Amino acid sequence: MNRREFTACIVAGGCAGMCVDLTLFPLDTIKTRLQSQQGFYKAGGFRGIYAGVPSAAVGSFPNAAAFFVTYESTKSFFAGYTATSLTPFTHMLAASLGEIVACLFRVPTEVVKQRTQANPSLNTYRVLLNTLQEEGFRGLYRGYGSTVLREIPFSLVQFPLWEYLKAVWWRRQGGRLDSWQAAVCGALAGGVAAFVTTPLDVAKTWIMLAKAGTSTASGNIPVVLYEVWRSRGIAGLFAGSIPRVTFISMGGFIFLGAYEKVRRTLL
């Protein structure tokens, strides 16, 4: 990857991240409250659905930029070493590495954002201060492992499927694919990935919102998943799946469509 491609990835990824996070923030708030241990209405219901948006605004650009730089760099590195039949595995590896790096930026903003969404009476700055005072800097990374373990399976489904759908559409059109078509592929891939990984998203939400010192806050995903299943059943494991699938399908359309559009413009 040359310098121009590197810059294009940063700018396109960052712009795409901000577009999707700010546009669809209300749906994300509703999903978080549906998954909250205290219940939807006690977590705020439909009140203050933009609670936590400053945290999302600050973190979305570096988070998405870091992902796409890592993703495209890994794809570029392995392009000359792998056979065509192994391309999906290259995409899986690239997406997984991208998520690990991106989560270094995503998790602190996600912790503050979700706690503000679940406590709309507090503002983003107050939630940040409370987290630092009660848990220190490590508190901002509570749920890092669960977030990575949610995002990697998600990306293992979404990005190879996205690349596959683009390739199929590209071949059927004789070697041409517009940005909006890449966006449609992103919406389909994102919706499928969102549904199958909803239980991991529920576990991540419970861990991030749990009180410090509790067993849930320890971040043991199998234990948390069992706790959710025991207390709320299968429905609890898929709590918030409808807004999550809706959010990520729309997000995939905006995110991956905007990325393709900006990147092609810069290149």
Q: What is the pLDDT of residues 171-227, one digit of tens each?
A: 888 877 888 899 999 999 999 999 999 998 888 888 878 887 787 787 778 888 998
Which residues does the chain have with pLDDT short of 70? 82-83
What is the maximum span of the chain, computed from C-alpha positions, in angstroms?
Answer: 59
Give me the pLDDT at residue 13, please: 92
**pTM summary value:** 0.77
Cα 217-218-222 angle, rounded to 5 deg: 100
Give me the pLDDT at residue 244, please: 85
Give me the pLDDT at residue 146, please: 78
Closest CA to 134 of 144, 142, 145: 142
8-state DSSP, 143: T
Give me the pLDDT at residue 82, please: 65
